[in-house]
Structure 1
Amino acid sequence: MKDVTQLTDGWSLLHDGESLPAAVPGCVHTDLLAAGLIEDPYIGEREKEVAWIGRRDWTYRTEVAHDSAHERADLVFEGLDTAATVTFAGRTVGTTRNMHRTHRFDVTGLAGELDVRFGSAYDEADRVRALTGDRPNVYPEPSQYIRKMACNFGWDWGPTLVTAGIWRPVRLEHWSTARLASVRPLVTVEDGTGRVEVRLTVERTARGAGRTLTAAVSVDGAGAEVSFEGDEAVLRLDVPGARLWWPRGYGEQPLYDLGVTLRDADGPLDSWHRRIGFRTVELDRSADEHGTGFTLVVNGERLFARGVNWIPDDAFVTRVTPERYRTRLAQAADANIDLVRIWGGGIYEDDAFYDACDELGLLVWQDFLFACSAYPEEQPLRGEIDAEARDNVVRLMPHPSLVLWNGNNENLWGFRDWDWEPALAGDSWGEGYYLGLLPRIVAELDPTRPYTAGSPWSGSWDHHPNDPAHGTHHSWEVWNRQDYAEYRADVPRFVAEFGWQAPPAMATLRRALPGETLAPDSPGMLHHQKAEDGNGKLNRGLARHFPLPEGDFDRWHHLTQVVQARAVAAGIEHWRSHWPVCAGTVVWQLNDCWPVSSWAAIDGDGRLKPLHHELRRVYADRLLTLLPGSGSGSGSDGGGDGDGSGTGAGLTLAVVNQSATEWRTSVALRRLESGGGTLHRAVLDVTAAPRSVVRLPVPDGLVPDGASAKEFLAADADGLRALHFPVPDKDFAYPRPSYDVGVEPVPGQGDRVDVVVSAHTLLRDLLLQADRFGPSAAADTGLVTLLPGEQVRIRVTGCPPVTEADVRAALFCVDTA
C-alpha cells in the first residue's frame, strides 16, 4: 500500500542570511509576523510598510529523509504560491508558475536538503507580459499575467499584500506498481435510484506496466469492481432508494461515503475516499416573454436563489482554518442564505469549505479564477489554465453542494463596456477561455453540472452582456450613482451582484485603528476604504435620506450601516416579489478579508453588521413587504423606495412564500401618524401557495399622504412586519425618541444578558451596538423599529457586567429632531 509522509515540520525561511522558523502551510508574511520582523499590516497604515515583501525572492528549506522500499517516491505540493523552483538533494526537480494547481515531482532515490525558491510575483508577471503584450485591467497591478490569487494585488475592498509560500500541504508519497492518479465520480439520480459512475486513471511504474489491476468501488453497501490492464477504468453502481441531497430549506442533506480501492494480485496498492450526495441540478435558460431566464433547478424543484458572494476570508488565506470556514458558513446559513458564489478573483477554496457547504445545504456557485481583467490566451498562460481547470474540476466534483461552474467575473462585460475592445486591437483577452476551453473541460470531466460563460452574461453576443432581461446581471449603477430606490427600476432575471457599503463594527475599527480619533476622513479610515470615491458614495447615499452628521462619527457610523441594510433589503424585497421572473439575488458580499469599509455583511474581524440581521429577515421563507407602485405586474414599480424616498402611484403589498407549505394569513394594515395614532386600518386575508408570491394593491384609504411628513403605513402578519414611509427620513416628523431600558442577567449564563427596550414613541431602526460593551459582546438582533408601547428583548452574549447607562450609550436610532 502507498505510504504517505506529511512534510509539515522542520521548515525554515531564509531571510537576509538568517534562517527563521517557517510554518507550512503558510506564507512569508505570516512567518515574518511570527518572528516579530514586521508588524500587523492590517493595523493603521502599516500595509504600506510591507510592500517590499512581494518584490523579493524567498527560499523555504527543510531536510527530507528517504526511507522506503517502494519503487517510486513523489514529492507532492498541493499549492505553491506562485513562481517557484524546487531543488532536492542539489537537483532541480521542477518549476511552478501557478498557485491554483497541485504539482507532483518524481524524487525517487533522493534525500537531503529540499529548497523551494520563490521568485517575486511581480517579476514573473513582468516576464509573461513581455511575451504576451499588455492587456487592459481595472486595477494598475499585473494580476492577469500570473496564475495567482488576483486580490493579493489589491481590490476595492482589499489590501495589496503580495504573498509567497507553501500555502497548501506538502507530502512525500512512496508507492509501487500503480497509484490512483485521478478519480471522477459522476453522481446522478434516476427514478429514485442513485447512480454512480466512477472514471479513474492510474499511473504505473515500469514494473507495473501491463499488470492486471483491479479497482473496486463501494457506496452504502452497494459495490462494483473491474479488472483492467490499461491506464483507465470505469465502474458503475446503483444505490436503490438513495435519499436526495437538498439545499437548506428544501429538505435534508444526506451524505454517502464513496470508497475506491486499487489492488493487484499481491494486495492493495492505493485508496481514495470522499462523501457524495445524490441530487440532480439543471440551469433553465429558456427564452420567454420576459427575455432569457436563469433559474437553478435542483431535484426538479425550481429555486429562487438567496445568495451571497464570497471572497477569501483573509488576505493571508492559510490562516483560514476548517473551523473558521464552518463559522463563517454557519453565519451564512443563519441569515437564511442558500447559495454562496465563490468569486473569481480569489481561490478555489479548501475542501473544508465545500465539506461545510455539503453539510449545511449551501449551494456553491464556483467561478473559474478570472476577474475584471483581459487575460492573454497565449503560452505560457494557456497551458497553465488548462491544467488548473482540470485539476480543480476533478478535485471539487464529488461535492453535492457544487451546482454551477462560471467562466469569469465581469470580463465579458468589461470587453463590451470598459473600453477594452479598442485597446486590445484584436489581441486575445480571455473569450477563448470562457466560450471555448472551459466549457469543453467541464463537458468532458463533469457533465453532471451546468456551466455558464461569465457573470454577468446574457447567454450570447446577441444581447448586451449585462442586459437585465437576459441571464445574469450585475447591478452597480445604483451604488455608484443613484439612490437605492432605483433597484426597483427593473426586474433582472438573476441579480448575481449588487450591494452597498458600510463601515465595520466599532470594536473592529478600534482594534484596526488604535489611538486614532475616528472620523469618516481620518487617515486610518481613508486607508481602510479601498473603493474609488468610496466615502463620497457613502455620504451621497446617506444625504439622500438624512442630514449629514457633521462632526458626529458615532451617528455617521450608525446611519451608514442603516442605509446599507435598507439598500440591500430594498433590492431583495423588490426582486423576490417578482419570482419567478427574477430567480435569484446574490449580495455583494458576505465577508471581508481584513478590517475595512466595504459591502460585506460580516466584517473583517467576524462581527455581524446590521446587514447580516437584515438578510435573515429578507431571505426568510416568508416575507412581507410594501412596494411603491400599484398592481401585480412584473415590470417596474417606479416612484420611490418605500422607505422614505417618494410616494409612487399607490402601494403594493407583496406576500412572498418560499416555504413548502401554503401560507394562509391575515395582514393587518394600519395607516399611522408619527405620534402613534391610527388614522385608518384594514385586514386583508391572503393565501399564498407554496413557492409563490401574491401581490395586492394597498387600498387607497391606507396609502399615506405623500404630502404629509407625519404618516406611514405598517403591515403585520404572523410576527412579520413591513413599513412604508412616503418621504425621506430627513423630511419626516420623527418624535424625540423616548424609551425605557432594562438589563436582565440570563440565569446560569454569566456572560449573557437580556437588554429590554420599551418604546414610548416611534423608534425607527433601533440598533444595539453590543461590541461597545467589549470586543466579545454580540447582540442577536439588528435593526428593529418599535411603535409606541412595543418592546424588544435583545440577547447579548460575551458580555461583561453592564449598567443601564452603558446600554443607553450603545443604543442608536433614527432621530432627525
Structure 2
Amino acid sequence: MKDVVQLTEGWQLSHDGTLLEARVPGCVHSDLLTAGIIPDPFIGTHEKDVAWVGRQPWTYQRPLSYEESAASGHERTDLVFDGLDTAARITLDGVELGRTRNQHRSYRFDVTGRSGALDVTFTSAYEEAEAVRRLTGDRPNVYPEPFQYIRKMAANFGWDWGPTVVTAGIWRPVRLERWSTARLARVRPLVTVDGTRGRVELRVDLERTAAGTDRPLLAQATVAGVTARAEVGGDEATVVLDVPDVRLWWPRGHGEQPLYELELTLLDGDAPLDTWQRRIGFRTVELDRSADEHGTGFTFVVNGERIFVRGVNWIPDDVLPSRVTSERYRHRLEQTAAAHVDLVRVWGGGIYEDEAFYDTCDELGLMVWQDFLFACAAYPEEQPLRGEIEAEARENVVRLMPHPSLVLWNGNNENLWGFRDWDWEQPLAGDSWGEGYYLGVLPRVVAELDPTRAYSAGSPWSGSWDHHPNDPDHGTHHSWEAWNRRDFTEYLADVPRFVAEFGWQAPPALATLRRALPGEKLAPDSPGMLHHQKAEDGNGKLNRGVARHFALPEGDFDRWHYLTQVVQARAVATGIEHWRAHWPRCAGTVVWQINDCWPVSSWSAIDGDGRLKPLHHELRRVYADRLLTFQQGPDGPELTLSNLGAEPWTTDVTLRLLRTDGTLSARVSLGLTVPAREVLRLPVPPEVRPADGATKEYLVADSEELRAVHLPVPDKEFAYPQPRFDIAVETVGGDPDTVDVEVISHTLVRDLLLQADRVAPHATADRGLVTLLPGERTRIRVRGAAGVGANAIRAALFCVEPA
C-alpha cells in the first residue's frame, strides 16, 4: 500500500544570511511576521513598508534524510508539492530536481534513495513576470502591475479592494509518497442521474514503475453499497457503478444535500496498492441559454427545476491565502449561507480554493460558479504561458469535478468586455490577448474532462460576438455604471437576463477600523482611511452616493459612517428587489462581494475582520424565500410579492397611508396567494397611494414579519420627524454576555441600526436596518456585551434624521 509522509516540520527560510523557522504550508510574509522582521501590512500604511518582500528571492530549506527518501519496501519515493508560489527552483543535494512557474499547479519529483539538503528557491514574482513580458510583449491591463505574465494569484498585485502584497512560498502541503508497481495518477468521476438511478463512471489513469509495466491490476470502486471492478491492462481503466434509489443533491433552499462516499482502490491481486476517496452527490445541472422574446437567457436548471440564483462573488479571504484554515472557510461560508445565499462565484483574480472550501459548499448547498483564473487584463497566448495555462486547467478541472456544488466553469472575468470597451484593440494591434483561451483551450478542456458541466466563455458574456459582451439582454451582465457614475436608482432602468456583478461600497465596521488604524483620528479623508480605500475616486463615489439621498455630514465621522452603510444596503437591495420582481426574465443576481481579504472600504458584506456589515443583514432579507416590496409600475407603485419557496404563499397584506405626524390616512387589507417560485404584482389601491411629490405622507405594507416602505420623494426631500424612541436593556436568561435591547418608537424611526461593535469590539447584533412606525417596538439581541448599560447602547444606535 502507498505510504505517505507529510513534510511539515524542519523547514527554514533564509533571510540576510540568517535562517528563520518556516511554517509549511505558509508564505514568506507569514514567517517574517512571526519573526518580528516586518510589521503587519494590514495595519496603518505598513503595506508600503513591506513592498520589498515581493521583490526579493527567497529560499526554503530542510534536510531530506536517506531514511525519509528510501522506498522502505517500495520501489519509488516521490516528493510532491501541492502548491508552490510561484517561480521556484528545487534542488536536492545541489542537483536540480525541476523548476516551476505556476502557483495553481502541483508538482512531483522522483527522489528515490536520494538525500541531502532540499532547497526551494523562489525568484521574485516581479522578475519572473518581467522576463515573460520581454518574451511576449506588452499587453493592456487595468492595473499597473504585471500579473498577466505570471500564473499567480492576480490579487496579490493589488486590486480596487486589496493591498499589493506579493507573496512567495510553499503555500500548500508537501509530502513524500512511497509506492510500488503502480499508483492512481488521475481519477475523474463522471456523475449523472436519471430519475432516481445514479451512475458513476470513473475514468482512471495510472502511473507504473518499470517493474510494474505489464502487470495486470484491478480497479475496484464502491459507493452507496454498490461495488464494481475493472481490469487494468495498461495505464487506463473505466469503472462504472449503477446506483439505484439515490437521493438528489439540491442547492440550499430547494432540498437536502445528501453526499455519498466514493472509494476507489487499485489492487494487485488482493493487495491494495493505492486508494482514492471523495464525497459525491447526484444531481443534474443544465444552463438554459436559449433565445426568447427578451434576448438570450441564462438560467440554471438543477434536477429539472429552474432557479433564480441568489448569489455572491467570493475573493480570496486573505491576501496571504495559506492562512485560511478549514475552520475559517467553514465560518465564512456559514456566514454566507446565513444570508440565504445559494451560489458563490469564485472570482478569476484569485485562486482555485482549497478542498475545504468546496467540501463546505457541498454540505451547505452552496452552488459554486468557478472562474478560470483570468481577470481584467489582456493575457498573452504564447509560450511559456500557453502550456502552463492548459496544464493548470486540466489539473484543476479534474481536482474539483467530484464536488456536486460545482455547477459552472467560467472562462474569465471581464476580459471579453475589456477587449471591446476598454481601448485594448488599438494597442494590441493584432497580438493575442486571451480569446484563444476563452473560446478555444478552456471549452475544449472542459468538454474533454468534465462534460457533465456547462462552460461559459466569460463574465460578462452575451454568448457570441453577435452582441456586445455586456449586453443586458443576452447572457451575463455586470452592472457598474450605477456605482461608478450614477445612482443606485439606475438599477431600475433595465432587466438583465442574469446580473453576475453589481455592488456598492461602504467602510468596514468601526471596531475593524480602530484595529487597523490605531491612534488615528478617523475621518473619511484621514491618511489611514485613504490608504485603506483602493477604488479609484472611492471616497468621492461614497460621498456622492450619500449626497444624492441625504445631507452629507461635515465633520461627523460617525454619522458619515452610518449613512454609507445605509446607502450600501439600500443600493444592493434596490437592485435585487427590482430584478427579483422580473423573474423569470432575470434569472439571478450575484452581488459583488461577500468577503474581504484585509480591512478596507469595499463592496463586501463581511468586512476584513469577519464582522457583518448592515448589507449582510439586508441580503438575508432580500434573498429570503418570501420578499415584500414596492416596485414602480407603468401607472404608479405596485405591491410586489416574490415567492422563491417550494410552497404557495398565502398571506394577508395590510397597506397603510400614513402621515409624518403619525396619523393614519387610509388602510387596505388584501388576502393574497403567490404560487411557488412565482411573483405577484398588483397596483397599489388608489386610496392608500401617496400623492406624487408629497413630503409628509408615506406608504407602508406589512405581511407577517415582512415590511415595505414607499416614499413619494427622495429621502432628503422627505419631511422626516425628529426621531424619538426609548430603549430598555435586559439580560437574557442567566447569560450576562447576552442582552436584549428593546426599542420603543414615538415617531417614525427609519433605518434604525445598532452597531454592536461600538459597544464592545466583539459584540454582535442579530438585526440590521429596522424601520419602526409610531408606537411600535422591536427587540435586538446583542451577544458579547457583558456589563453594557443603556447609555452605551444608545450611543451605538443610529437612524435617519431630518435633512
Displacement of 1:623? 0.3
Separation in structure 1 between the aligned mates of residue 686 and residue 101 of structure 2, nearest angstrom: 66
Where do residues 169-318 of structure 1 align in structure 2 (5 Å cutoff)?
169-265=173-269, 267-318=271-322
Separation in structure 2 between the aligned mates of residue 629 and residue 728 of structure 1, nearest angstrom: 18
Deviations 1:407-430 (A, max 9, x none): 000000000000001110000000
SS at match of 1:144: helix
Separation in structure 2 between the aligned mates of residue 186 and residue 64 of structure 1, nearest angstrom: 39
Give the equivalent residue in structure 2 for 1:120: 124
TM-score under structure 2 normalisation? 0.99
Give the equivalent residue in structure 1 for 2:705: 719
Give the equivalent residue in structure 2 for 1:393: 397
SS at match of 1:652: strand
SS at match of 1:309: strand
Is residue 656 of structure 1 aligned with residue 656 of structure 2?
A: no
Cα pair 1:457 1:472 within 8 Å, conserved: yes
Separation in structure 2 between the aligned mates of residue 39 and residue 284 of structure 1, nearest angstrom: 50
Separation in structure 1 between the aligned mates of residue 500 and residue 722 of structure 2, nearest angstrom: 40
Displacement of 1:628? 2.1
Is residue 779 of structure 1 aligned with residue 765 of structure 2?
A: yes
Letter in 2 for 1:432: G
Separation in structure 2 between the aligned mates of residue 498 and residue 511 of structure 1, nearest angstrom: 29
Letter in 2 for 1:542: V
Deviations 1:177-225 (A, max 9, x none): 1000000000010121011000010000000001101000000110100
Is residue 104 of structure 1 aligned with residue 108 of structure 2?
A: yes
Letter in 2 for 1:666: D
Where do residues 290-369 of structure 1 align in structure 2 (5 Å cutoff)?
290-369=294-373
Displacement of 1:700? 2.4
Cα pair 1:63 1:114 within 8 Å, conserved: yes
Q: Give the alignment partner of residue 743 of structure 1, picking from 716, 725, 729.
A: 729
Give the equivalent residue in structure 2 for 1:768: 754
Is residue 608 of structure 1 aligned with residue 612 of structure 2?
A: yes
Is residue 12 of structure 1 aligned with residue 5 of structure 2?
A: no
Give the equivalent residue in structure 2 for 1:420: 424
Separation in structure 1 between the aligned mates of residue 113 and residue 93 of structure 2, nearest angstrom: 10
Separation in structure 1 between the aligned mates of residue 170 and residue 242 of structure 2, nearest angstrom: 41
Give the equivalent residue in structure 2 for 1:623: 627
SS at match of 1:109: coil
Deviations 1:131-163 (A, max 9, x none): 000000000000000000000000000000000
Letter in 2 for 1:64: L
% identity of equivalent residues: 73
Separation in structure 2 between the aligned mates of residue 137 and residue 429 of structure 1, nearest angstrom: 10
SS at match of 2:442: helix
Distance 1:747 1:266, change over 3 A: closer
Give the equivalent residue in structure 2 for 1:646: none
Q: Give the alignment partner of residue 501 of structure 2, picking from 497, 500, 504.
A: 497
Is residue 682 of structure 1 aligned with residue 686 of structure 2?
A: no
Deviations 1:59-79 (A, max 9, x none): 000112224231111111000
Give the equivalent residue in structure 2 for 1:446: 450
Separation in structure 1 between the aligned mates of residue 254 and residue 407 of structure 2, nearest angstrom: 15
Cα pair 1:528 1:595 within 8 Å, conserved: yes
Separation in structure 2 between the aligned mates of residue 21 and residue 428 of structure 1, nearest angstrom: 44
Where do residues 32-181 of structure 1 align in structure 2 (5 Å cutoff)?
32-65=32-65, 66-67=69-70, 68-181=72-185
SS at match of 1:159: strand
SS at match of 1:154: strand
Q: Give the alignment partner of residue 520 of structure 2, picking from 516, 522, 525.
A: 516
Displacement of 1:123? 0.3
Give the equivalent residue in structure 2 for 1:635: none
Cα pair 1:561 1:611 within 8 Å, conserved: yes
Give the equivalent residue in structure 1 for 2:579: 575
Give the equivalent residue in structure 2 for 1:528: 532
Letter in 1 for 2:569: A
SS at match of 1:250: coil
Separation in structure 2 between the aligned mates of residue 18 and residue 800 of structure 1, nearest angstrom: 47
Letter in 1 for 2:59: T
SS at match of 2:383: coil
Is residue 377 of structure 1 aligned with residue 388 of structure 2?
A: no
Q: Which runs of 5+ in 1 are unaligned?
A: 631-648
Cα pair 1:766 1:814 within 8 Å, conserved: yes
Separation in structure 1 between the aligned mates of residue 694 and residue 683 of structure 2, nearest angstrom: 21
Cα pair 1:472 1:495 within 8 Å, conserved: yes
Separation in structure 2 between the aligned mates of residue 576 and residue 191 of structure 1, nearest angstrom: 30
Deviations 1:323-376 (A, max 9, x none): 111111101111000000000000000000000000000000000000000000
Letter in 2 for 1:5: V
Separation in structure 2 between the aligned mates of residue 326 and residue 456 of structure 1, nearest angstrom: 29
Single out whichever of 555-564 and 661-670 deviates more from structure 2.
661-670
Give the equivalent residue in structure 2 for 1:557: 561
Letter in 2 for 1:599: W
Is residue 486 of structure 1 aligned with residue 475 of structure 2?
A: no
Letter in 1 for 2:476: T
Displacement of 1:683? 1.7
Give the equivalent residue in structure 2 for 1:757: 743
Separation in structure 1 between the aligned mates of residue 700 and residue 218 of structure 2, nearest angstrom: 69
Deviations 1:432-456 (A, max 9, x none): 0000000000000000100000000
SS at match of 1:81: coil
Letter in 2 for 1:355: D
Separation in structure 2 between the aligned mates of residue 476 and residue 441 of structure 1, nearest angstrom: 31
Letter in 1 for 2:578: H
Cα pair 1:773 1:800 within 8 Å, conserved: no
SS at match of 1:166: coil
RMSD between aligned residues: 0.8
Cα pair 1:650 1:700 within 8 Å, conserved: no
Single out whichever of 710-719 and 198-207 deviates more from structure 2.
710-719
Deviations 1:455-491 (A, max 9, x none): 0000000000000000000000000011111101000
Where do residues 400-415 of structure 1 align in structure 2 (5 Å cutoff)?
400-415=404-419
Displacement of 1:107? 1.3
Displacement of 1:685? 2.4
Separation in structure 2 between the aligned mates of residue 316 and residue 799 of structure 1, nearest angstrom: 31
Deviations 1:289-316 (A, max 9, x none): 0000000000001000000000000011
Displacement of 1:266? 6.5
Moved over 3 A (4+): none
Separation in structure 2 between the aligned mates of residue 349 and residue 556 of structure 1, nearest angstrom: 36
Separation in structure 1 between the aligned mates of residue 541 and residue 163 of structure 2, nearest angstrom: 20
Where do residues 630-709 of structure 1 align in structure 2 (5 Å cutoff)?
630=634, 649-709=635-695
Letter in 2 for 1:194: G
Separation in structure 2 between the aligned mates of residue 778 and residue 744 of structure 1, nearest angstrom: 16
SS at match of 2:420: helix
Separation in structure 2 between the aligned mates of residue 675 and residue 161 of structure 1, nearest angstrom: 55
Q: Give the alignment partner of residue 470 of structure 1, picking from 463, 474, 480.
A: 474
Letter in 1 for 2:688: L
Separation in structure 1 between the aligned mates of residue 270 and residue 211 of structure 2, nearest angstrom: 13
Separation in structure 2 between the aligned mates of residue 675 and residue 364 of structure 1, nearest angstrom: 49
How many positions carry a matched residue from both structures? 799
Q: Which runs of 5+ in 2 are unaligned?
A: none
Deviations 1:82-137 (A, max 9, x none): 00000012210010000000111111221121100000000000000000000000
Letter in 1 for 2:560: W
Letter in 2 for 1:32: L
